[in-house]
Structure 1
Amino acid sequence: MRSSLPSRLIATGFIAALLLTGCSAKDSNNAEAQPSETSSSAAASADATASSTSASSEDSDSAEASSSATALPTLANGQEVTLTDTEHTDFNAGKYVPATAQHPALNVPEPVMPEVAKEQTFEGAKAFLEYWVEAKNYNIETGKVSPVKELVTPNWPEEREMYEAIDQEYKADGWVEGSLAKLEIPDEDFNVVYEGLYDVIVYHTENPGKLYDKNGKVKEEIPAFNTSHQPTVITLKFENGRWAVDGSSGIQGVDYEN
């Protein structure tokens, strides 16, 4: 994969309890109670109707919420990906779910370049490199070549070709588990090679991973990169108000075999 290569209001109608005293009072009260009972019955009916409407509305809302839940992706063979309970909860909440042997990474956030990464300063170069690595990992987990391809100049064709190769694997419904990059920048300055070009010492590592085909079978084992944690040099180019990665090289005197 390298260059070496997803209430209810219970109808509580109030029943009027009339205390009756004497026959004439009873007759009188009965005459008066009739409209009261009718009114009470009407109120109870209205409450029941409102309750039914409320319940219907709640059912409708529930159905709408259920239908708006993000559907799980399927593999090329039509099989729905398998998630653990925790993964399913995170997925429905829109949270990032790392790739596994059962499914590709899900809800992968697209990286956003910080404003400082546009400055022609060491802090700007450092922020840019950190963004570049986030974009590399975004490519690894989604196959998308944008934005990472635009961050590398044509002077490093092997790197750009790797992004395209990963994209092709995802277009064929494959995916990558692991193989994510990490970048540490120990220095507080860069070396100016010549106008517009800058060398930055970094520790660039990648964990091991696996490439799966469309049916979830391991297609390739991807080895870790720079397990000895040796420093390398990343050459940056600043042109037309923006940074770009121009290449990577070893440091003279460093043994990269250990």
Structure 2
Amino acid sequence: MTLQKPFTSRIFWSRPQRYTAGALVIAGSLLLAGCAGSSPADPGTTSPAASESATPSAAATPTSTPSAVYKPADASGPAQNVPVPVLPDVAKTETKEGLEAFAKYWYATLGYAYETGEMGPLEAVSDSSCSSCLRVRKEVTDWHSSGRWLEGGRVSVEAVDSNFVQSQPSTYQAIAQVKQEAIIYHLSDGAVKGRLDALPTTPDILVAKFVGNEWKAQTVEHMVK
């Protein structure tokens, strides 16, 4: 089978985001600290946040208990029985801890979208003006239609921190160290349309606003190209 030219860039996180000096300090400290031992999320065995991070704080994001055995996507078909991420109570508070827990949850819903094609959980916690979220929607929905599917793409969050300083009313920035598995794009007959290399650990900035007793992601971008 002849493969077409591999994909070379992600639709999501397509440009660096402007950030405050405080965000730079946080990002630098996260990069220096590192988080050895992190592994890709495995929704079948633990919570998204616990599998996204090797640190104890990640346990704040549980998932629903699967009623059937989780099976990741492979060459034979899409993922099956992927547990839906569950928003922890702390992520419903306008606090530093709440924002950091929300950021982990947001990435859990991102990984869920890539695995299942279901955008509901991600869109529920993303503002309608979030352009990066709209780019995710296009890629995910396009590649989970007409029998097509994505293999891989699971997201790991190694660390999250925030100085919790308002940039605008009830709007804050969090810095996350994020990586994503390689993605393989399958056509309905299982043929490989393209591949996208794994994203190495990369600092992201997530801007979120607390509105009506809940967080909404305003934008999520890489801090570097």
Smaller-chain TM-score range?
Answer: 0.5 to 0.7
Please state if 1:245 is matched with 2:213: no
Shift of 1:160: 2.1
Task: Tell me, in whole angstroms, the C-alpha distance in 2 between the residues paired with 1:146 and 1:219.
Answer: 26
Paired amino acid for 1:194: Q
Instruction: Give the alignment partner of residue 204 of structure 1, picking from 168, 175, 178.
Output: 178
Contact 2:185/2:194 (<8 A) preserved = yes
Cα deviations across residues 1-49 of structure 1 (Å, max 9, x unaligned)?
5335xxxxxxxxxxxxxxxxxxxxxxxxxxxxxxxxxxxxxxxxxxxxx
Contact 1:191/1:200 (<8 A) preserved = no
Task: Tell me, in whole angstroms, the C-alpha distance in 2 between the residues paired with 1:98 and 1:230.
Answer: 24
Q: Which runs of 4+ in 1 moved over 4 A?
A: none
Shift of 1:122: 1.3
Q: TM-score, normalised to structure 1's length?
A: 0.58
Cα deviations across residues 84-141 of structure 1 (Å, max 9, x unaligned)?
xxxxxxxxx8111111111211111111111211111111111111111111111111
Shift of 1:188: 6.0
Residues 190 and 169 (structure 1), Cα distance of their counterparts in 2 relative to 1, 3 Å cut: same
Task: Tell me, in whole angstroms, the C-alpha distance in 2 between the residues paired with 1:204 and 1:236.
Answer: 17
Q: Identify unmatched segments of 5+ residues in structure 1.
A: 5-92
Contact 1:190/1:201 (<8 A) preserved = no
Q: Which residue of 1 aligns with 2:131?
A: 157
Please state if 1:182 is matched with 2:191: no
RMSD: 2.1
Please state if 1:233 is matched with 2:205: yes
Q: Which residue of 2 aligns with 1:105?
A: 79
Shift of 1:144: 0.7
When you count helix as a share of all residues, which structure comes out higher?
1
Contact 1:126/1:185 (<8 A) preserved = no
- Secondary structure of the corresponding residue to residue 114 of structure 2: helix
Contact 2:114/2:140 (<8 A) preserved = yes
Shift of 1:197: 0.8
Task: Tell me, in whole angstroms, the C-alpha distance in 2 between the residues paired with 1:230 and 1:111.
Answer: 23
Shift of 1:172: 1.2
The total of aligned residue pairs comes to 163
Identity, % of aligned positions: 27
Q: Which residue of 1 aligns with 2:194?
A: 220
Q: TM-score, normalised to structure 2's length?
A: 0.65
Contact 1:179/1:222 (<8 A) preserved = no
Give the number of the structure with larger relative contact order, counting CA–CA contacts within 8 Å between residues 6 or more apart.
2
Residues 102 and 182 (structure 1), Cα distance of their counterparts in 2 relative to 1, 3 Å cut: same
Contact 1:208/1:224 (<8 A) preserved = yes
Please state if 1:127 is matched with 2:101: yes
- Secondary structure of the corresponding residue to residue 185 of structure 1: strand
Shift of 1:250: 5.1
Q: Which residue of 1 aligns with 2:11?
A: 2
Shift of 1:186: 4.3
Shift of 1:209: 1.4
Cα deviations across residues 58-105 of structure 1 (Å, max 9, x unaligned)?
xxxxxxxxxxxxxxxxxxxxxxxxxxxxxxxxxxx8111111111211
Task: Tell me, in whole angstroms, the C-alpha distance in 1 between the residues paired with 2:138 and 2:96.
Answer: 30
Task: Tell me, in whole angstroms, the C-alpha distance in 2 between the residues paired with 1:250 and 1:166.
Answer: 19
- Secondary structure of the corresponding residue to residue 177 of structure 1: strand
Task: Tell me, in whole angstroms, the C-alpha distance in 1 between the residues paired with 2:160 and 2:103.
Answer: 13
Residues 223 and 2 (structure 1), Cα distance of their counterparts in 2 relative to 1, 3 Å cut: farther
Residues 162 and 250 (structure 1), Cα distance of their counterparts in 2 relative to 1, 3 Å cut: closer
Task: Tell me, in whole angstroms, the C-alpha distance in 2 between the residues paired with 1:196 and 1:239.
Answer: 8
Contact 2:11/2:139 (<8 A) preserved = no
